[in-house]
A and B are shown apart, each in its own frame.
Chain A
Amino acid sequence: MQNPTSSRPRTAAAAATVAALAALALAACSSGGGEPAAQPSGSATSGGAAKVAVTLTSAGGADACEVDTTSVPAGPVTFTVTNKDSAVISEIELLAGQRIVGEKENLAPGLAPVSFTVTLDGGSYAVYCPGAATDTVPFTVTGQAATPTGGASAILEAGTTTYATYVAGVVASMVTSVDALKAAVDAGDLPAAQKAYAAARPFYERIESDVAGFVLPGADPTDNSGNLDYLVDMRASNLDDAVGWHGFHAVEKDLFEAKTITAGTKTLAAELDANVRKLAELSRSLTYRPEDLANGAAGLLEEVQANKIKGEEERYSHIDLVDFAANVEGAEQAFANLEPGLEQIDPDLTATVEQRFDDVRALLKTYEDPTALGGYRPYTAALKASDSAKLSQAIQALQEPLSSIAEKVATAR
């Protein structure tokens, strides 16, 4: 959720779909993961794959990136990278223009050589070694590759379409669940309304980074009275006095702190229902670029760190872990839709992020409680005191690799 002063107004059509595949699309099929490579064997083609040895060195502080051959025939190419003694260079990338078609990170002196294999079309490339005195080495591929197939870019585009379907489904469920909340409030049924509140929250939290920032048509983006995220999800701590308190958390306070349903609660619930419907309407026109999914996932994890782990999101109901799980689920859905394309660009990164999501999910599982509201243990002051560091560290471990996905997918075309 956004602070009213930092909202990012976004018109529905602004996140436009990307143009078609770039003509020079390459099939960059990687293999070779993070295993130590065989000894570099100079330049040559053997067993079908051309071999290129890259050696990182440091001579009196002038770090160098030595590429033993700078021209290979089209087809599979294996790059073997050895960091002899450069403390400065920690990664190398193979670039086609601005696009990363292969790379190795976490290189450091003393570690075993690593390799990656890519299938390259004929054309001009560059080996980029950030930190080297001459950091870009031109690299030429002659001839044509055998069969250019779809490529990462097309797969990523397909992923954005699937993700849009996911968002639409969550939005529809959000509307239904808020309808149910309104009905329970209207009926004056406190236990039912509390349950309906906990049931409705996860839908917004799963897609918050996509739908936050909408302003009502014609509204001034700096005026919170037209900011739907403000009207739907503002917490007591960030109120704009001129606009007053509306939305989920105003209802939450009545249901969980005052524990009374008043005429005011009913007005708030009706208003929330109407605003969620407006949000649903506006979000219908959303389209996504691959980097929107990556940035959205990163945004959801920032939400977890900023609000859920601190217990500030659900101050009265203490269902912060329900929101936490929903943020993570939303981030994971976005990642899952990028995964098939990302797998071709950077299999190591894909595997790392997947593993870290597994770790977070396994950790969250330990907080499940079917008898608790929303299915997770209430995030009390005591639980926060004992467990917040552990939760935060698991998210940090995921945030770090996840934050580099956007660039990978944005340049994959």
Chain B
Amino acid sequence: MSRHDGGVSRRAFLGGTLGGIAAGALVGFVGADSAQGSAPVAGGTDPTLQYPFYGQAHPAGVATPPQRHCLFMTFDLTTTDASALQSLLARWSAAFDVLMAGHELGTADPDRPHAVPTDTGEATDLGPNGLTLTLGLGPGVFDDRFGLAARKPAKFDHLPALPSDQLQDALTGGDLSIQACADDPQVAFHAVRDLSRLARGVAVTRWTVMGFGRASAGQGQTTPRNLLGFKDGTRNIRSDADLGQFVWHDGQDQAWMKGGTYQVARKIHMHVENWDTDRIEDQERVFGRDKRSGAPLTGTGEFDTPDFAKTDASGARVIDPQAHVALAAHENNGGLKILRRSYNFTDGMDETGQIDAGLLFLAYMKDPAQFVTLQTRLGSSDALNEYISHVGSGVFAVPPTPERGHFIGEALFQ
């Protein structure tokens, strides 16, 4: 699969067998004009789906239609040497391009017997599977370690303590983040594993969540369900106009962020055993929606606009003012929206014998205050709070995509 696989001959450029993958996926290196690739085929996914890395208006993995799986990992920098950070960002950027094209990072099977394989090999022959790699820089990058304090955007800092937070230190923070999403979970895992190798000695892994099953709809996708069984992301941002208004950084304040965005990651534990014994009437009250159709309790279709003022015969609101849909609605938050790109996760069982599962909440916005505003409200009074706990958290600046020949965040060092 790798075009520089050394198995037969190092010179056999493009000469390897492509396994079951269409040759077009490799030869037709994606051009800049197909920025969003194509949406996954209904009922299945296309292993040859490939997104370009270099030269895009915005980072991949944000407006990209959510793939089926996503691995999110954060890192702490152990170096205090700005050139080591620079070198890591440059190596990662080049690796993003290679991995997103579905190639091996170097080779999994070197010719020379004493050589250590540079690629770990488990994604060989699988195809790109729509892999996107998205890099985030935590607020710590702009502290006094690397001389980058002057480059810190004014709006960017650690998130404040928010109502109902039950954050665990081991699941919070990080100097760097990598979001690796793909339609094949092994492709996403491979990417993060091999990128972690490149970081050794410079950064150490901090926390990670392996998400399965997208729990937010993107452009052109049907709305998926979260682990509480409800459609999630019905009212998510879908239009380019909303992306421009709420998601993409305009470069004011810090020019290096123009076209980039901010990423908020939350590991949200769901108390599924309790939820599973709750009566349907209450479950629907908590969300403010019908469980099967996803329609707001004031409507009949999923995409009907909720009528938050509507009352029943007794004068009570049909949609509880504390329902999740009510508190999160842009109508009730001064028009505020964020782009959600969440995934369901499970970590197996917890120490009490309960299922350890929930939502890897990932969201993108042009100002982290958008999340703070929404979560302050939700954390204070969301009816859903009885069934969820925010246990992990991080906020990251996602720089724009570099042009070919450059690397992510290069402008920071100039």
Residues of A within 8 A of B (CB): 58, 60-62, 84-88, 90, 98, 106, 108-111, 128, 130-136, 291, 352, 356, 389, 393, 396-401, 403-404, 406-407, 410-411
Q: A109-B93, A411-B112 are in contact. List 16 more A-B contacts (CB 8 A).
A: A58-B404, A61-B29, A108-B91, A109-B406, A110-B406, A130-B6, A131-B106, A134-B13, A135-B11, A291-B114, A389-B204, A396-B200, A397-B204, A401-B201, A404-B116, A411-B114
Provide the residues of chain A in CB contact with B273, threshold 8 Å.
none
A243 vs B78: C-alpha distance in the bound complex, in angstroms?
A: 46
0 or 1 for each of B1-17: is its CB under 8 Å from A? (1 = yes): 00110100011010000
A58 vs B78: C-alpha distance in the bound complex, in angstroms?
A: 32
Q: How far is the CB of A207 from chain B (nearest CB, A)?
A: 22
Provide the residues of chain B in CB contact with A85, threshold 8 Å.
404-405
Q: Is A90 a contact partner of B91 (Cβ separation < 8 A)?
A: yes
A370 vs B406: C-alpha distance in the bound complex, in angstroms?
A: 52
**Closest 4 A-B residue pairs measured CB to CB?**
A85-B405, A108-B90, A407-B114, A87-B97
Q: Is A407 a contact partner of B115 (Cβ separation < 8 A)?
A: yes
Q: How far is the CB of B212 from chain A (nearest CB, A)?
A: 24
0 or 1 for each of B37-59: is its CB under 8 Å from A? (1 = yes): 00000000000000001100000
A403 vs B118: C-alpha distance in the bound complex, in angstroms?
A: 11
Q: How far is the CB of B98 from chain A (nearest CB, A)?
A: 5
Q: Is A397 a contact partner of B114 (Cβ separation < 8 A)?
A: no
Q: Is A87 a contact partner of B94 (Cβ separation < 8 A)?
A: yes
Provide the residues of chain A in CB contact with B98, threshold 8 Å.
87-88
Provide the residues of chain A in CB contact with B78, threshold 8 Å.
393, 397
Within 8 A of A (CB), among B193-219: 197, 200-201, 204-205
Q: How far is the CB of B27 from chain A (nearest CB, A)?
A: 8
Name A100's closest neighbour in chain B (CB-CB).
B112
Q: Is B6 a contact partner of A400 (Cβ separation < 8 A)?
A: no
A389 vs B116: C-alpha distance in the bound complex, in angstroms?
A: 24
Q: How far is the CB of B152 from chain A (nearest CB, A)?
A: 21
B366 beta carbon closer than 8 Å to chain A: no
Within 8 A of A (CB), among B237-274: none
**13 A-B pairs with C-beta separation under 8 A:** A85-B405, A87-B94, A90-B118, A108-B87, A108-B90, A109-B93, A109-B406, A130-B107, A132-B4, A135-B11, A393-B204, A396-B204, A411-B114
Q: How far is the CB of B197 from chain A (nearest CB, A)?
A: 6
B402 beta carbon closer than 8 Å to chain A: yes
B103 beta carbon closer than 8 Å to chain A: yes
Provide the residues of chain A in CB contact with B406, threshold 8 Å.
109-110
B386 beta carbon closer than 8 Å to chain A: no
B86 beta carbon closer than 8 Å to chain A: yes
Q: How far is the CB of B202 from chain A (nearest CB, A)?
A: 8
Q: Is A106 a contact partner of B405 (Cβ separation < 8 A)?
A: no
A98 vs B114: C-alpha distance in the bound complex, in angstroms?
A: 11
| Contact among B90, B116, B118 for A109, CB-based, below 8 A | B90
- CB within 8 Å for A108 and B94 given contacts A84-B405, A397-B200: yes
Q: Is B116 a contact partner of A407 (Cβ separation < 8 A)?
A: yes
B410 beta carbon closer than 8 Å to chain A: yes
B359 beta carbon closer than 8 Å to chain A: no
| Contact among A133, A352, A356 for B13, CB-based, below 8 A | A133
Q: How far is the CB of B56 from chain A (nearest CB, A)?
A: 14
Q: Is B200 a contact partner of A109 (Cβ separation < 8 A)?
A: no
Q: Is A106 a contact partner of B201 (Cβ separation < 8 A)?
A: no
B407 beta carbon closer than 8 Å to chain A: yes
Provide the residues of chain A in CB contact with B115, threshold 8 Å.
404, 407
A58 vs B201: C-alpha distance in the bound complex, in angstroms?
A: 29
- CB within 8 Å for A406 and B201 given contacts A85-B405, A108-B93, A131-B106: no
A-B contact count (CB 8 A): 102
Q: Is A111 a contact partner of B86 (Cβ separation < 8 A)?
A: yes
**Residue in A88, A134, A389, A407 with the greatest tally of chain B CB atoms within 10 Å:** A88
Interface residues of B, dominant DSSP: loop
| Contact among B10, B107, B116 for A403, CB-based, below 8 A | B116
- CB within 8 Å for A110 and B201 given contacts A87-B98, A130-B106: no
B131 beta carbon closer than 8 Å to chain A: no
Provide the residues of chain A in CB contact with B10, threshold 8 Å.
128, 130, 135-136
- CB within 8 Å for A407 and B200 given contacts A87-B94, A110-B93, A135-B11: no
Q: Is A400 a contact partner of B13 (Cβ separation < 8 A)?
A: no
Q: Is B87 a contact partner of A62 (Cβ separation < 8 A)?
A: no
A291 vs B114: C-alpha distance in the bound complex, in angstroms?
A: 9
Q: How far is the CB of A33 from chain B (nearest CB, A)?
A: 12
Provide the residues of chain A in CB contact with B405, threshold 8 Å.
84-85, 109-110
Q: Is A400 a contact partner of B90 (Cβ separation < 8 A)?
A: no
Q: How far is the CB of A161 from chain B (nearest CB, A)?
A: 21
B95 beta carbon closer than 8 Å to chain A: yes
Q: How far is the CB of B406 from chain A (nearest CB, A)?
A: 4
Name A408's closest neighbour in chain B (CB-CB).
B114
A352 vs B98: C-alpha distance in the bound complex, in angstroms?
A: 26
0 or 1 for each of B74-105: is its CB under 8 Å from A? (1 = yes): 00001000000011001101111110000100
Provide the residues of chain A in CB contact with B87, threshold 8 Å.
106, 108, 111
Provide the residues of chain A in CB contact with B205, threshold 8 Å.
393
Provide the residues of chain B in CB contact with A403, threshold 8 Å.
116
A389 vs B208: C-alpha distance in the bound complex, in angstroms?
A: 14
Provide the residues of chain A in CB contact with B204, threshold 8 Å.
389, 393, 396-397
Provide the residues of chain B in CB contact with A356, threshold 8 Å.
201
| Contact among B94, B103, B404 for A90, CB-based, below 8 A | B94
Q: Is A109 a contact partner of B29 (Cβ separation < 8 A)?
A: no
Within 8 A of A (CB), among B99-135: 103, 106-107, 112, 114-116, 118
Q: Is B114 a contact partner of A90 (Cβ separation < 8 A)?
A: no
**Residue in B78, B107, B201, B402 with the greatest tally of chain A CB atoms within 10 Å:** B201
Provide the residues of chain B in CB contact with A401, threshold 8 Å.
201
Provide the residues of chain A in CB contact with B97, threshold 8 Å.
87-88
Q: Is A134 a contact partner of B11 (Cβ separation < 8 A)?
A: yes
Q: Is A62 a contact partner of B13 (Cβ separation < 8 A)?
A: yes
Provide the residues of chain B in CB contact with A291, threshold 8 Å.
114
Name A294's closest neighbour in chain B (CB-CB).
B114
Name A84's closest neighbour in chain B (CB-CB).
B405
- CB within 8 Å for A410 and B106 given contacts A88-B98, A108-B87: no
A396 vs B204: C-alpha distance in the bound complex, in angstroms?
A: 9
Q: Is B90 a contact partner of A110 (Cβ separation < 8 A)?
A: yes
Provide the residues of chain A in CB contact with B106, threshold 8 Å.
90, 130-131
Q: How far is the CB of A316 from chain B (nearest CB, A)?
A: 25
A166 vs B78: C-alpha distance in the bound complex, in angstroms?
A: 34
Provide the residues of chain A in CB contact with B200, threshold 8 Å.
396-397, 399-400
